[in-house]
Structure 1
């Protein structure tokens, strides 16, 4: 196999052109990989994947139109052997677990060093998983934590947008007591002292997007 065949072909998906430029420069300076395509949102990432069949897709989570998690699900739904490295600003064990469950190979924060990013791309191309120390520590810390249910998440999303328990009960067509019970359950799972604290912890861990 010659050197050209050994090079890792990468698609970079991020909605910030400056970030894409920086990643392209870092990747192409590595000597063993090339950026073969770019995307500004999840829909474009899926299109570039179909078009270019890269060895690795380097993907942000927070993108317009189709976000990163939906893009991971779509790409891996079409090709279970796809290698996806998530590079995001947002930590959180729940978000990382969801990305990995959907098929991502690696999960890194944008605070990662150039070498950490390049190493994750190489590991992903070889079929090995990677995670930054901060994310790995967060996942380990909450490994035994109960996940929030869809109903508990629905309540917290409405709390996050400023709705009272009564308003939430009306929107979800359930009783006030049901909302109180779901909120108490969510607070218990998160270790929260009150409803505002519960939203803060849910956002931090990646259960909810920041309101």
Structure 2
């Protein structure tokens, strides 16, 4: 006879590109009698493969991964498995990082460096069907300015802006006119409440709109 969900061991997949981080998190998880690490992955692509192979109850997902990001991996898995449950475990604290992760389908969000009890609480809470957002995460999310969404093209312009490209060069790279780039930059400044390009990039970095 199958065990009920309440008495079942929670199967956890750990996704992080740092081996020591994975080992440390696995030790915390496996130290609990009601939890077990079923697999580890070092990339978004590998996370998808391991999810399909093990069908974990909870996936602990870092956001900063090589090539495919953690957010992209969450979206990819949830397209095939809408019931999949995720707790983000990351260093990213920006309101946009949090917003994107939750929009993708994460139900918990933990900042690396928080007490490990928070991680165990998050796993248990999300497993039981709830959400887990610690106070610092809630405050960051609450600080997200209204109407600050960027379009795909605006995000492309911002990414190139952040790496020091001129309007002319951005236009060449994106195949649009310099005048169009200027329009996008003006919109970006308005949405980020910035007075110039430098302030816009600083704000974007703080909020998690761009990463270096």
TM-score when scaled to structure 1?
Answer: 0.91
Which position in structure 1 is the counterpart of 2:149? 147
Which position in structure 2 is the counterpart of 1:90? 92
Gaps of 5+ in 1: none
| Secondary structure of 1:45's aligned partner | helix
Aligned Cα root-mean-square deviation (Å): 1.9
Which position in structure 1 is the counterpart of 2:30? 28
| Secondary structure of 1:131's aligned partner | coil
Which position in structure 1 is the counterpart of 2:122? 120
Which position in structure 1 is the counterpart of 2:19? 17
Greater alpha carbon shift after TM alignment, 132-141 vs 19-28:
132-141
Per-residue deviation, residues 153-187 of structure 1 (Å, max 9, x unmatched): 12111111221122223333433333222212111
| Contact 1:76 1:82 (8 Å CA) reproduced | yes
Which position in structure 2 is the counterpart of 1:37? 39
Structure 1 residue ranges, 4+ long, deviating more than 4 angstroms after superposition: 1-5
| Secondary structure of 1:186's aligned partner | helix
Which position in structure 2 is the counterpart of 1:163? 165
**Distance across 2 between alignment mates of 1:160 and 1:99:** 22
**Which of the residues 189, 192, 195 maps onto 1:190?**
192
**Which of the residues 26, 47, 58 maps onto 2:49?**
47
**Distance across 2 between alignment mates of 1:55 and 1:206:** 28
TM-score when scaled to structure 2?
Answer: 0.91
| Contact 1:112 1:132 (8 Å CA) reproduced | no
| Contact 1:62 1:68 (8 Å CA) reproduced | yes
Is residue 81 of structure 1 aligned with residue 83 of structure 2?
A: yes
**Distance across 2 between alignment mates of 1:130 and 1:3:** 19
